[in-house]
């Protein structure tokens, strides 16, 4: 008990330091619930919803990996407030310094918690294309977040990466090495995965969706190629960007690969016979409708995105 109390005091102190003078009037931060899916790998389950006031932007899986000397955070959630709750969850588990914050890609539900970690001294890690994507999209994403969440978006902002990865990199946490891979355009054109060799856990970011309809915002062909390559990784389990906190590897890829390849085949056929986006919207992907959550709007968007990629083949 004594140890637990000291951890909580330490957490309280850390939050005081983080929040500054205003902390006295701020309500205590409620730590995000996390599950230890493998020794040292902790995941918080994001809701299968769109960003809305009720969820505060807590719609993506986020988490952290604890080494012997330091901690790495993998994605920070959809607002500074979610990021602060993730930080509180980390401080319940360990007092070790946070050495890295990895952003698996540019999407708002994965990066807007970054602001909560700026004071931690962590280095922010992103794909070599992330700064460009933040430049093109950050202002819009932030404006949308503020419009959608109102006060709950407070403190959220775009944080530039300190370390960018063009191909591969390793991150050392002391007795624990993380392998970071930068992928060619797939889910987005700035996807990173993190492989925790010690536990055999692959953090796939949004290269893997389970249950929630996959969102194509990079390249459909690129994503299918990435899935083929990912399959060869000798992981034991995977943390998807959306879906259960842990899933068996590589079987977890099958549903997504099936949806994406069927969508590609159907749209290619429509393009080959001189069809239009409007025609593709009526039929493409519809056979998968019952298998996925939040299907209609996401699939429609995917059809438009995929069509405008595949018509250049």
Q: Which residues bind another protein (CB under 8 A)?
A: 129, 131-140, 142-144, 146-147, 157-158, 160, 185, 188-189, 216-219, 222, 273-279, 281, 297, 300-301, 303-305, 308-309, 311-312
Q: Least separation, in Å, of the C-beta of 207 and another protein?
A: 15
For residue 205, the minimal CB distance to another protein (Å) is 16
Is 261 or 279 the residue whose CB approaches another protein more closely? 279
| Nearest distance from C-beta of residue 259 to another protein, angstroms | 17
Q: For another protein, which is the closer residue by CB, 128 or 198?
A: 128
305: which DSSP letter?
H
3-state helix, strand, coil in the chain (%, to 5): 45, 20, 35
Cβ atoms of 100 and 65 within 8 Å: the answer is no
- The answer to whether 108 and 51 have CB atoms below 8 angstroms apart is yes
- Residue 246 or 298: the one with the smaller Cβ distance to another protein is 298
Measured CA distances, 12 to 3, 83, 143, 244 (Å): 14, 16, 31, 30
Q: 31 or 126: whose CB is closer to another protein?
A: 126
**Residue with Cβ nearer another protein (146 or 283):** 146
Distance CA 225, CA 158 (A): 30
Q: Find the shortest distance in angstroms from Cβ 32 to another protein.
A: 25
Residue whose CB is less far from another protein, 23 or 294: 294
The C-alpha atoms of residue 46 and residue 84 are separated, in whole angstroms, by 15
Closest distance of CB 134 from another protein, Å: 7
Rounded-to-integer distance, Cα 45 and Cα 125, Å? 22
Tokens of 143: 């404006």
**Residue with tokens 């970071």, as numbered in its chain:** 180
- Phi, psi for 190 (deg, rounded to 5): -150, 45
> At closest approach, how far in Å is the CB of 263 from another protein?
14
């Amino acid at each position: 008990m004594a140890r637990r109390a000291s951890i909580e005091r330490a957490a309280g102190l850390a939050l005081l330091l983080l929040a500054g003078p205003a902390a006295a009037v701020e309500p205590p931060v409620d730590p995000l619930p996390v599950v230890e899916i493998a020794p040292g790998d902790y995941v918080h389950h994001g809701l299968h919803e769109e960003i809305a006031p009720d969820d505060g932007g807590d719609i993506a899986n986020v988490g952290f990996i604890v080494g012997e000397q330091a901690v790495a955070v993998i994605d920070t959630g959809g607002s500074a407030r979610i990021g602060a709750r993730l930080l509180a969850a980390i401080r319940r588990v360990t007092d070790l310094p946070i050495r890295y914050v990895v952003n698996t890609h540019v999407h708002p539900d994965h990066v807007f918690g970054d602001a909560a970690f700026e004071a931690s001294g962590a280095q922010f890690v992103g794909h070599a294309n992330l700064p460009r994507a933040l430049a093109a999209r950050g202002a819009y994403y932030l404006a949308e977040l503020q419009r959608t969440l109102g006060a709950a978006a407070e403190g959220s902002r775009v944080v530039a990466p300190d370390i960018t990865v063009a191909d591969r990199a390793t991150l050392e946490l002391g007795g624990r090495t993380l392998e970071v891979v930068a992928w060619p355009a797939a889910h987005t054109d700035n996807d990173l995965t993190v492989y925790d060799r010690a536990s055999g856990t692959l953090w796939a970011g949004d290269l893997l969706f389970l249950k929630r309809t996959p969102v194509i915002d990079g390249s459909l062909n690129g994503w299918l190629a990435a899935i083929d390559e990912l399959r060869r990784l000798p992981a034991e389990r995977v943390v998807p960007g959306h879906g259960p906190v842990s899933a068996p590897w590589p079987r977890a890829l099958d549903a997504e690969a099936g949806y994406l390849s069927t969508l590609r085949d159907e749209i290619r056929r429509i393009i080959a016979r001189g069809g239009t986006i409007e025609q593709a919207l009526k039929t493409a992907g519809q056979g998968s409708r019952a298998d996925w959550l939040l299907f209609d709007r996401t699939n429609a968007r995917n059809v438009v995105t995929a069509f405008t990629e595949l018509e250049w083949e």
